[in-house]
Structure 1
């Protein structure tokens, strides 16, 4: 089973940014999810939501990430 949540380190690698910026992106996405009534976990965001939100939904399968 693939991981359902993506970490800041993975976000940083995919987005080619620092891990600190990865945490900021996750914090922003978790805020959006929380506003919609979802339960969130600090430092992680659902992998599917990350790829949808960043517009990289096609990359998910081609990179072997999932």
Structure 2
């Protein structure tokens, strides 16, 4: 099985955007709030990689 990480940490977000960790935590917190409002269970400091792709780049990741 491939080494695929389903969840992204705030550190991953910071690396992806080349921004500070504090800004990445703000983004993750805002996205988690949106997910919670939709009825999803969230984890502090982490977001689903598929949700990240949809929100930031406008596309959905294909399931392999």
Q: In which range does the TM-score fall when normalised by the shorter chain?
A: 0.7 to 0.9
TM-score relative to the length of structure 1? 0.81
2:52 to 47, 50, 53: 50
TM-score relative to the length of structure 2? 0.83
Aligned length: 59
User: Deviation at 1:56?
Assistant: 6.3
For structure 2, the 5+ residue unaligned runs are none
Question: How much is the aligned-residue C-alpha RMSD, in angstroms?
Answer: 1.8
Q: For the pair shown, which has the larger CA radius of gyration, 1 or 2? A: 2
